[in-house]
Amino acid sequence: MSRLSIITAPDPILRKKSAPLETIDDALRALMDDMFEIMVAGDGIGLAAIQVGVAKRLIVTRVAEGDEPPVALRLVNPEILWRSDEPSVHEEGCLSLPDQLAEVERPERVRVTYLDAAGERRELETGGLLATCLQHEIDHLDGVLFVDHLSLVKRSMIIRKLKKAQRQKAVAPA
- Which residues belong to the active site? 137
Task: Yes or no: say if 35 and 117 are a contact pair by the CB < 8 Å rule.
Answer: no
Strand runs labelled E in the chain: 46-48, 58-63, 71-83, 87-94, 97-107, 110-115, 121-126
Q: Which is nearer to Ni ion, 4 or 94 (CB)?
A: 94
- Is residue 9 a contact point for Ni ion (CB under 5 A)? no
Of 73 and 94, the one with the shorter C-beta distance to Ni ion is 94
Q: Are 2 and 36 in contact (CB under 8 A)?
A: no
Which is nearest to 57 in space by CA: 12, 86, 33, 24? 24
Name the residue number minimizing CB distance to Ni ion: 94
Nearer to Ni ion, 24 or 137 (CB): 137
Residue 102 CB, nearest approach to Ni ion (Å): 12
CB of 98 to Ni ion, least distance (A): 11
- Tell the smallest beta-carbon distance from residue 146 to Ni ion (Å): 6
Report the site for Ni ion in 80-99 (rule: CB under 5 A).
Answer: 94
> 67, 66, 9, 71: which is closest to 45 by C-alpha?
71
Residues lying near Ni ion in the complex (CB under 5 A): 94
